[in-house]
């Protein structure tokens, strides 16, 4: 499955779980916070290490002996270039996740699964609520093993399920939610 589809499934599940938990109160969905939670930047350690080396060589360039100063002067341009490249990759990774989150939100609104209130908050629609297999029984909301509870379990932190497993499962759930309406 394409990476964007995996991320769509994850974000759909996250959005629906959050709106389900706050139902019937509209909820603000912080796209930056949610998308940064799932942004994939695999070079964080390398960026931190590069920044540390840059700081060291910058100090060495100022206070070292002549050999150390020359070594620092020769090394710093490469470190600066690599740090800039890594920061650009990180920015692009976060921008991609934000775009996928925004696209997911737009899709869920256009499919009438959620709606945006005038205050910029979001709320499950009756279609969205029913697709999470919730029903009203005896004056209460029934909460059996539903699509909503499955989504919550899949999104729990510390789950033994791999990212690909969660994305695949959520993709199947979201296909059922969207196609059944």
Residues 116-127 have pLDDT tens digits of 888 889 988 888
Residue 33: per-residue pLDDT: 84
Residue 138: per-residue pLDDT: 45
Reduced to 3 states, what is the DSSP secondary structure of residue 84?
Answer: helix
DSSP classification of residue 144? S
Q: Where do the H-state alpha helices sit in the chain?
A: 3-22, 31-38, 44-63, 66-110, 126-131, 147-155, 163-179
Copy the structure tokens of residue 109: 């609104």
- Taking a C-beta distance cutoff of 8 angstroms, is the pair 73, 61 a contact? yes
DSSP classification of residue 112? T
pLDDT tens per residue across span 137-170: 444 445 555 555 555 555 555 455 555 555 555 5
Where the chain has pLDDT below 70, the residues are 1-2, 39-41, 133-181
Residue 140: per-residue pLDDT: 43
Q: Where do the H-state alpha helices sit in 111-162?
A: 126-131, 147-155
Residue 174: per-residue pLDDT: 55
């Amino acid at each position: 499955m394409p990476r964007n589809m995996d991320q769509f499934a994850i974000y759909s599940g996250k959005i629906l779980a959050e709106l389900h938990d706050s139902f019937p109160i509209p909820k603000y969905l912080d796209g930056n916070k949610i998308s940064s939670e799932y942004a994939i930047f695999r070079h964080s350690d390398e960026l931190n290490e590069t920044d540390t080396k840059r700081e060291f060589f910058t100090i060495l360039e100022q206070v070292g002996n002549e050999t150390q100063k020359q070594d620092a002067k020769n090394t710093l341009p490469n470190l600066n270039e690599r740090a800039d490249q890594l920061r650009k990759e990180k920015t692009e990774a976060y921008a991609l996740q934000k775009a996928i989150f925004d696209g997911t939100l737009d899709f869920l609104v256009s499919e009438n699964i959620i709606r945006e209130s005038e205050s910029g908050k979001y709320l499950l629609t009756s279609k969205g609520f029913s697709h999470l297999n919730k029903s009203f029984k005896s004056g209460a909301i029934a909460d059996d093993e539903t699509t909503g509870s499955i989504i919550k379990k899949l999104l729990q932190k510390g789950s033994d399920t791999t990212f690909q497993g969660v994305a695949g499962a959520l993709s199947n759930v979201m296909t059922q939610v969207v196609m059944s309406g």
